[in-house]
């Protein structure tokens, strides 16, 4: 039986923990002091037009200090600002040669982790699910964590040890594929986060005004150019702002949860991460003498 340590018992950490336990792993959690008594929670897999599927995450152990024992995998299910903390050095000393899995797509996440762990131990997973503490309205029968996987999507996994992580996710019943090109996760974030920032600046109105979406779309082009230059990628085609606006009009009628409530709740919680990403693209673009004026204007439009 493989041993997995998940850092962070937030919505995503709970869902990944349940999947890995379903694959046969022994899953423990490293949490903030004061949460050692956490005994698990109800999960709800949302489905459009049908009741949610009830599941349960039950941790093997819940601890608040890095354990001095071997683990096969350590999943860092925390936001990007948290990865800059000094706690990672203590975790590295305690977990040794474990495969380290990060779900962050900030442009500086991998380089931050590579200063703590050897590069060959680090694996990046690009989540395709949306997960949150429910209920937002009345979409689940009791409080817990709700999540939704867009049909037909698969999580991208990057890194030398990606096959191990892909196999674990598939054994837990989830779609996952190895992605060999570096920067794929960061490119996904570059195409999404400026629109999230635009929605935040508009007070989470769906959709934001056409001008606000056009400004966010222009910032997307700058962010994509920065990430592409950073990783030697072809930028490809990003959705135009009018298509994003159309999607934001249609999706609330198609999704099995309150989209505006999810965006407001989740991205307000991780607002520091949004700002960290924007600052990272601006700094990297400026260093490479790439245009970042739209990114800078978007960053300035966000409340402190």
**Phi (first) and psi of residue 209, to 5 degrees:** -60, 155
Q: How many angstroms separate the CA atoms of 179 and 182, rounded?
A: 8
Q: How many angstroms separate the CA atoms of 105 and 127, rounded?
A: 10
**Phi (first) and psi of residue 120, to 5 degrees:** -70, -15
Q: Which residues pair with 158 in a beta bridge?
A: 124
Average pLDDT over residues 231-252: 90
* Confidence (pLDDT) at 164: 97
For residue 292, count CB atoms less than 10 angstroms from its CB and return exposed for 0-12, middle for 13-18, buried for 19 or more: buried
Instruction: Specify the CATH architecture of the domain 3-178.
Output: 3-Layer(aba) Sandwich (3.40)
Torsion angle, alpha carbons of 189, 276, 183, 15, to 10: -60
pLDDT at 3 over 80: yes
Residue 236: band (very low, low, confident or very high) from pLDDT cuts 50, 70, 90:
confident
Task: Please answer whether residues 199 and 263 qualify as being in contact, where contact means their C-beta atoms are separated by less than 8 angstroms.
Answer: yes
* Confidence (pLDDT) at 265: 95
pLDDT at 17 over 90: yes
What is the value of pTM for the model shown?
0.94
Say whether the peptide bond before residue 49 is cis (omega within 30 degrees of 0). Answer: no
Tens digits of residue pLDDT in 94-138: 988 999 999 998 989 999 999 999 999 999 999 999 999 999 999
pLDDT at 217 over 90: yes
Tens digits of residue pLDDT in 259-304: 999 999 999 999 999 999 999 999 999 999 999 999 999 999 998 8
Give residue 246's Cα distance to chain centre. Answer: 24
């Amino acid at each position: 039986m493989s041993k997995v340590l998940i850092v962070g018992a937030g919505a995503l950490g709970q869902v990944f923990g349940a999947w890995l336990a379903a694959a046969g792993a022994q899953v423990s959690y490293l949490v903030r002091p004061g949460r050692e008594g956490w005994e698990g929670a109800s999960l709800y897999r949302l489905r459009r037009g049908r009741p949610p599927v009830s599941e349960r995450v039950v941790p093997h152990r819940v601890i608040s200090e890095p354990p001095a024992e071997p683990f096969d995998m350590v999943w860092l299910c925390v936001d990007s600002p948290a990865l800059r903390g000094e706690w990672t050095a203590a975790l590295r000393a305690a977990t040794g040669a474990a495969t380290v899995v990060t779900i962050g797509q900030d442009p500086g996440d991998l380089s931050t982790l590579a200063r703590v762990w050897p590069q060959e131990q680090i694996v990046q997973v690009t989540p395709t699910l949306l997960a949150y503490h429910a209920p937002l309205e009345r979409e689940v029968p009791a409080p817990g964590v709700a999540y939704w996987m867009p049909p037909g999507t698969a999580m991208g996994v990057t890194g030398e040890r990606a096959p191990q992580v892909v196999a674990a996710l598939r054994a837990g019943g989830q779609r996952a594929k190895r992605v060999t090109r570096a920067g794929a996760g960061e490119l996904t974030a570059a195409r999404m986060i400026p629109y999230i920032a635009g929605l935040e600046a508009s007070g989470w109105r769906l959709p934001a005004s056409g001008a606000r979406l056009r400004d966010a779309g222009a910032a997307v082009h700058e962010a994509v150019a920065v990430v592409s230059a950073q990783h030697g990628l072809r930028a490809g085609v990003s959705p135009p702002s009018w298509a994003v606006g159309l999607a934001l009009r249609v999706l609330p009628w198609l999704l099995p949860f309150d989209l505006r409530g999810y965006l407001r709740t989740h991205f307000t919680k991780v607002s520091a991460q949004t700002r960290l990403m924007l600052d990272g693209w601006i700094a990297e673009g400026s260093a490479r003498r790439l245009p970042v004026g739209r990114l800078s204007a978007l960053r300035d439009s966000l409340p402190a």
